[in-house]
Amino acid sequence: MKKRLLSVILAATMTAALMAGCGGNGSKSSSKKSAAKGVDTSKEGDHELSVYAWDKNFNIPALEAAEKAYQKKDPDFKLKIIEQSQSSDVEDAVTLAGSSNDYSALPDIVLFQDHYFNRYVHDYPKAWSDAINKTSINWDDFGQEKLSYSTIDGTHYGVPVDNGTVIFAYRTDILKECGYTIDDLTGITWDKFDEIGKKVYQKTGKYLLSMDGDGNDLPYMMLQAEGVSQFKDGKPNFVDNKTMVDIINVIAKLQKDNVLYLANDWSDYTDQTIVGDMVAGVMNGNWIIPTIEQVKDNSGKWEITSMPTLTGAEGYASNGGSSLYITSNCKKTDLAADFLAYTFGGGDGAKETYDAALTNGGVITTNITCGKSDVYTKGVAYFNDQPIYQKIVEMGSKVNTVEQSDYHYIARENVAAAIHNIIDGTSVKDALKEAQDQVTFAMEGNDQK
pLDDT tens digits, 393-404: 999 999 999 998
Picking from 188-197, 198-207, 440-449, which range would have the lowest pLDDT averaged per residue? 440-449
pLDDT at 213 over 90: yes
Question: Sign of torsion, CA 335 22 417 261?
Answer: positive
Most distant CA atoms of the chain, gap in Å:
66
Q: How far is CA 142 from CA 63, 137, 371, 399, in A?
A: 19, 10, 10, 11
Asked if 31-164+320-372 and 166-317+403-447 have one fold, the answer is yes
- Residue 8: pLDDT band by 50, 70, 90 thresholds? very low
Angstrom distance (rounded) from CA 447 to CA 27: 43
Residue 26 backbone phi and psi in degrees, to 5 = -45, 140
CATH number (3.40.50.720, 3.40.190.10, 3.40.50.80, 3.30.70.270) of 166-317+403-447 reads 3.40.190.10
Q: What digits encode the pLDDT tens for the residues 234-252?
A: 999 999 999 999 999 999 9
Q: Which residues contact 163 (CB under 8 A, 6 or more apart)?
A: 143, 146, 286, 318, 321, 363, 364, 365, 366, 392, 393, 396
pLDDT of residue 320: 85
Picking from 5-9, 51-55, 250-254, 315-319, which range would have the lowest pLDDT averaged per residue? 5-9
- Topology, domain 31-164+320-372: D-Maltodextrin-Binding Protein; domain 2 (3.40.190)
Q: What digits encode the pLDDT tens for the residues 288-330?
A: 998 999 999 999 999 999 999 999 999 999 998 899 999 999 9
Average pLDDT score over residue span 81-90: 93
Instruction: Reduce the DSSP state of residue 266 to 3 states and report it.
Output: helix
Whole-model pTM: value is 0.85
| Amino acid identity at 253 | K
| Domain ranges for the chain | 31-164+320-372, 166-317+403-447
